[in-house]
Amino acid sequence: MLKYLDKRSLKFKMWTYFILFAAIIMIVLWLLQIVFINSYYESMKANEIKKIGNSLVSKYGDEGFEDLLYTTSLREGIVIQIFDERGNLLYPLRLIDIIRQPRIDYDLFAELLINLAKSETNYVIYTRDDLRLETPTLIYGAILENPQSSNYFLYINSTLQPIDSTVKVLKNQLIIVTGISLALALGLSYLIAKRLTKPIERITKSAEILAQGNYDIEFEKGEYTEIDNLADTLNYATKELSKTEELRKDLIANVSHDLKTPLTLIKSYGEMIRDISGKNEEKRNYHLQTIIDESDRLTRLVDDMLDLSKAQSGIDPLSYKEFDIKTTTERVLERFSYFRDNEGYCFILNSPAQAYVMGEEEKIEQVIYNLISNAVNYSLDFREIVINILDEEELIHFEVIDKGLGIPEDEIDNIWDRYYKLDRTQPRAGAGTGIGLSIVKSILIAHNAQYGVESQLGVGSKFYFRLKKME
């Protein structure tokens, strides 16, 4: 029960906002129908009388004007009169009025003339209390201009009917409507809030299961686009977390293996020097060289891990400058002379005379070294590595092509992950640390460079990247 009374919960807030919205609507209705209805009625009546009066003024002098006054008076239920400048009644006149011409009340006529004098137009409309009828009366007065004689005055009055009884009826109806509306708002807001929050509660429970390390959980979709998008995002995040967990396991296995093997060899050969070959110079040198080689292997692993950490964290900012990527590549290839001279590898470099790019040469050199090293590790039978440097207008395209193992289509996206190796059972596949391509990816992303791989299983692979060319 306390859960549903949580004032910070989405369900409670939606319920509150819905009730507040319904209450505001009811308040507006009460104000319009009860509080402001008198002023609204008076305003509407005044606009109606003004429209009628101005229409009659515009038709003054037309043939049949008196008939128009008569029909308008009957149709609208209003009193229409015309007076001269002295207040004598000119319309309507009965037979007896011809003998004794009636006059408008002096106070009424004086009030009309004063209001017309103050008005910036030729008409005026105002309200006055009628003591005889004990009800307000709406007065409209206008000047009927006569070019050849004195002006006449159009006088219209209409009683403002009391609407107290109407207000009482409306008030009773609004009480009923308010009660029903608030009851419906309470019920509907609760149902809607519950319906909206139910899929969120399901996702929350699934997230709790995920937090416990169960990556097989599936986040259910709801009936709303936003919930579906959230579920899709969380499902994607779950898959990525699962992959990260696998990478973590691989990291432990790889690092344990990569560290344990050289450490074991270092210890073993150290003991052999101590116990067996200490006085045999040839064996001692061989054993010492093995220790040095395995130490170098440990150093490479640690260096690769540090390089990857720096590249991904961005703590080692890039220092851009112009350099010739062809010269850089030739310098990298010299480091692979051992494979060319002793293991039968052939390195072919196709490049224009110069290929200047903008970037940090040391980092790009590391990218080139890792790509060529990767090609060497996975080229077992056909040991030809082709490096192409191509001029593409504003870009320099760099690619390394091997005819080695190739990459299965379903694993291409994984090769850029840390500690990922295709097949550790191959003769040279174990030579790498599984970090090289991750370093390549991080460095190229830092350079805003395009990069990618094209590969076919059993045929070979082509790794490439593009850097901005310097003219």
Q: What is the pLDDT of residue 389?
A: 94
pLDDT digits (tens, 9 = 90+) for 185-201: 778 877 877 777 788 88
% of the chain residues with pLDDT over 90? 23
What's the distance, CA 94 to chain centroid? 79
Segment of 48-57, 374-383, 408-417, 438-447 carrying the highest mean pLDDT: 48-57
CA distances from 213 to 86, 203, 323, 350 (A): 101, 16, 49, 51
State residue 163 phi and psi, 5-degree precision.
-115, 25
The neighbour count for residue 43, using CB atoms within 10 Å, is: 11
| Residue 85: burial class (beta carbons within 10 Å; 0-12, 13-18, 19+) | middle
Judged against a pLDDT cut of 50, whether residue 457 lies above it is answered with yes
pLDDT digits (tens, 9 = 90+) for 316-357: 566 789 999 999 999 999 988 888 888 889 999 999 998 999
- Residues 6+ positions from 211 with CB-CB distance below 8 Å: none
Helix (H, G, I), strand (E, B) or coil at 429: helix
Judged against a pLDDT cut of 80, whether residue 285 lies above it is answered with no
Q: Which parts of 71-160 are beta strand (E)?
A: 79-83, 89-91, 123-130, 135-144, 152-159
Q: What is the pLDDT of residue 251?
A: 61
Judged against a pLDDT cut of 50, whether residue 276 lies above it is answered with yes
206, two tokens: 């699934």
Judged against a pLDDT cut of 50, whether residue 426 lies above it is answered with no
Q: How far apart are CA 368 and CA 267, in angstroms?
A: 34
CA distances from 135 to 19, 74, 110, 414 (A): 41, 21, 21, 90
Of 239 and 452, the one with more pLDDT: 452
Q: How far apart are CA 308 and CA 315, in angstroms?
A: 11
Judged against a pLDDT cut of 60, whether residue 430 lies above it is answered with no
Of 76 and 251, the one with more pLDDT: 76
Of 422 and 368, the one with more pLDDT: 368
How many residues can be counted in the chain?
471
Instruction: Return the DSSP state at 469.
Output: B
Q: What is the pLDDT of residue 2?
A: 41
State the average pLDDT over residues 430-448: 76
Judged against a pLDDT cut of 70, whether residue 176 lies above it is answered with yes
Of 41 and 48, the one with more pLDDT: 48
State the average pLDDT over residues 167-172: 74
- Residues 6+ positions from 143 with CB-CB distance below 8 Å: 116, 122, 123, 151, 152, 153, 154
Q: What is the pLDDT of residue 260?
A: 64
State the DSSP H helix or E strand holding residue 172, giving kind and residue range, or none if neither.
helix 164-211
- Residues 6+ positions from 416 with CB-CB distance below 8 Å: 437, 438, 440, 441
Would you place residue 97 in the very low, low, confident or very high pLDDT band (cuts 50, 70, 90)?
low
State the average pLDDT over residues 15-36: 79
Q: What is the pLDDT of residue 114?
A: 92
This prediction's pTM: 0.44
Judged against a pLDDT cut of 90, whether residue 172 lies above it is answered with no
State the average pLDDT over residues 62-77: 91
Q: What is the pLDDT of residue 432?
A: 54
State the average pLDDT over residues 449-463: 90
Of 224 and 407, the one with more pLDDT: 407
Q: What is the pLDDT of residue 99?
A: 62
The neighbour count for residue 267, using CB atoms within 10 Å, is: 12
Judged against a pLDDT cut of 60, whether residue 257 lies above it is answered with no
Q: What average pLDDT does the chain have?
A: 80
State the average pLDDT over residues 353-370: 90
Q: What is the pLDDT of residue 1?
A: 41
Among 168-182, 210-224, 237-251, 384-398, the range scoring the smallest mean pLDDT is: 237-251
- Residues 6+ positions from 81 with CB-CB distance below 8 Å: 89, 91, 92, 104, 154, 155, 156
State the average pLDDT over residues 441-454: 89
Q: What is the pLDDT of residue 401?
A: 94
Segment of 76-90, 151-165, 282-296, 312-326 carrying the highest mean pLDDT: 76-90
Rg over CA atoms, the chain: 48
Would you place residue 424 in the very low, low, confident or very high pLDDT band (cuts 50, 70, 90)?
very low
Of 225 and 315, the one with more pLDDT: 225
What's the distance, CA 425 to chain centroid? 48
